[in-house]
Amino acid sequence: MRTLFVNGTVVNADGQTEADVAVVGEKISQIVPRSGGGITPGPDDLVIDATGCFVVPGGVDAHVHMELDTGTTVSSDSFASGTIAAAYGGTTTIIDFAEQRSGGNVLEAFEKRFAAAESQCVVDWGLHQILGGVDEQALIDARSLIAREGVASIKLFMAYPGRLYSDDGQILRALQMCADTGLMAMVHAENGLAIDVLVEQAIAAGNITPDFHSRTRPPELEAEAVHRAAVLSQVAGNAPLYIVHVSSSHALAEIVSARTRGVNIFGETCPQYLHLSLEDHLGQGWPNGAGFICSTPLRSKHDHHQADLWDGLRYDQLAVVSTDHCPFCMREQKLGFGESFQLVPNGIGGVEHRLDLMYQGVVAGHISLERWVEVCATAPARLFGVPRKGSIAVDMDADVVIYDPAATTVISAETHHMNMDYSAYEGMALAGAVRTVMSRGDVIVNNGQFVGRASRGRYLRREVSQHIR
């Protein structure tokens, strides 16, 4: 059977056309401009009318944390609930993380995480490998993961001393391995040792409200870590380097500067840094402010961070928008460990709303429609080695979203599908809505209703991206 998307505007990173799209099995089989006659439906075709809508590639969210064990609690979306929420929001690929901790075994950590996700995901999925304890064996094992398991990326932390933190020597060794293999090194860039001093001093002074989470993680300490990671990547032999969750003008400026020096560096930002702020959200005090504690933190609305990040996306200084989806429930989790900012689990949930929140940038004129598609789907697919996803083209996986620009989305915990009892975006009324979602040829969201099969998602064996060599 063929499925036809007719009468829509096909939008890819490199342009838009009035065209009809045919899907056979799991692949896109035909794209015919209507100026060339379009596709005439046959009696056996399933026809989906996309009049007035955009036909865009399914979103690729390259940074999510389902059922993440933080040490004190576990993020509240399972792989099942989180991928259903992703599907509602037009995301048909997620990449989560396997986590090796200091003294732990990389291959065992990968297998454990793989087993947890495999039986649950409703969209296609992959895993990055966190190295929380970079030692000789961890590097040998991480190097073997590309051939063994199709893992094309590792993640390192310059934050969180005593937990996931790597020192500069460990980071250099890991980056040397990445330069050698082509694996992408994702880095959480914040100077964790300096932050810990500021946190200790804030607590000693009695400054424990949620806003101190941001005040003790100043943008200078994000920028300093980005600079250091970029230098280490260059010294390592130009390792592919991807800075996660860029939140500030300061960090962005370091990425721009490193790119002009020829560093193989890419930046990611997230919707929370483009829409939420220290004053309006984190600064609400207890209890609501706790819902906005994430790292890197929300920044001051008075310092041009948001305008600079939008510009960074517009001018390709930032390559990707991911959610860093890390959901917690308010009462039991965000407020469950005591009223002091450093006790609150870090993270904001948003896997369901990335396409909608980023579409507001199109409406406001910050980015083009094509760039919206590129940062939400095409670029993450390319950078993380999933070449069959991220665009509407013949022989690509049939991951297709019908996006209705005339509809409206109102975000609320009452109606969202993430396993969270609050929303960081509560009450926001957004232009545009996801109407229909196809994942590898299956319609999984039909006119706003999830109709997918449990655990239908497929593990993505990835390859080293040609884009970064």
Within 10 angstroms of residue 290's Cβ, the number of other Cβ atoms is 26
Task: Determine if 61 is a binding residue for Zn ion (CB under 5 A).
Answer: no
- Which amino acid makes up residue 458? R
Tell which one of 128, 173, 188, 215 touches ligand URP (CB under 6 A).
188
Site for ligand URP in 63-92 (CB under 6 A): 65
Nearest residue to Zn ion by CB is 188
* CA dihedral of residues 407, 65, 149, 80 (deg, nearest 10): -60
For residue 453, the minimal CB distance to Zn ion (Å) is 28
Nearest residue to ligand URP by CB is 346
Pattern 370-409, ligand URP, x by CB under 6 A: ----------------------------------------
Task: Determine if 217 is a binding residue for Zn ion (CB under 5 A).
Answer: no
Closest to ligand URP by CB, 32 vs 194, is 194
For residue 187, the minimal CB distance to Zn ion (Å) is 9
Residue 294 interacts with which of ligand URP, Zn ion, none, CB < 5 to 8 Å by class:
ligand URP
Closest to Zn ion by CB, 376 vs 433, is 376
Closest to ligand URP by CB, 268 vs 442, is 268
Task: Determine if 299 is a binding residue for ligand URP (CB under 6 A).
Answer: no
Site for ligand URP in 343-362 (CB under 6 A): 346-347
For residue 463, the minimal CB distance to Zn ion (Å) is 23
Closest to ligand URP by CB, 8 vs 350, is 350
Are the beta carbons of 185 and 178 closer than 8 angstroms?
A: yes
Closest to ligand URP by CB, 9 vs 247, is 247
95-126 residues labelled b (16+ CB within 10 A) or e (exposed): bbbbbbeeeeebbebbeebeebbeebbbbbbb
Conformation bin of residue 21: beta by default, left when phi > 0, alpha when psi is -120 to 50: beta
For residue 244, the minimal CB distance to Zn ion (Å) is 5
3-class DSSP state of 18: strand
Using the rule CB under 5 A, give the single segment among 80-88, 133-141, 184-192, 414-422 that binds Zn ion.
Answer: 184-192
Please, what is the end-to-end C-alpha distance for the chain in angstroms? 40
Read out DSSP for 78-102? -HHHHHHHHHHTTEEEEEEEEEEET
- Which amino acid makes up residue 81? S
Task: Determine if 269 is a binding residue for ligand URP (CB under 6 A).
Answer: no
Closest to Zn ion by CB, 114 vs 160, is 160
Pattern 309-338, ligand URP, x by CB under 6 A: ---------------x-x------------
Tell which one of 113, 128, 155, 188 touches Zn ion (CB under 5 A).
188
3-class DSSP state of 253: helix
Task: Round to whole Å and give the CA distance between 407 and 53.
Answer: 10
Closest to ligand URP by CB, 188 vs 250, is 188
Task: Examine residue 296 and say whether the peptide bond preceding it is cis (omega within 30 degrees of 0).
Answer: yes
Task: Determine if 397 is a binding residue for Zn ion (CB under 5 A).
Answer: no
Please work out, in degrees rounded to the nearest 5, the angle formed at the alpha carbon of residue 63 by the alpha carbons of 60 and 68: 130
Closest to ligand URP by CB, 149 vs 190, is 190
3-class DSSP state of 467: helix
Task: Round to whole Å and give the CA distance between 87 and 64.
Answer: 14
CA-to-CA dists, residue 443 to 26, 172, 448, 453, angstroms: 11, 45, 11, 10
Pattern 47-66, ligand URP, x by CB under 6 A: ------------------x-
Residue identified by tokens 């002091």 is 340
For residue 345, the minimal CB distance to ligand URP (Å) is 8
Per rule CB under 6 A, count of chain residues that contact ligand URP: 8
Read out DSSP for 371-409? HHHIIIIIHHHHHTT-TTSSS--TTSB--EEEEEEEEEE
Nearest to 244 by CA among 458, 97, 391, 365: 97
The binding site for ligand URP (CB under 6 A) comprises 65, 188, 294-295, 324, 326, 346-347
Chain positions contacting Zn ion, by CB under 5 A: 188, 324
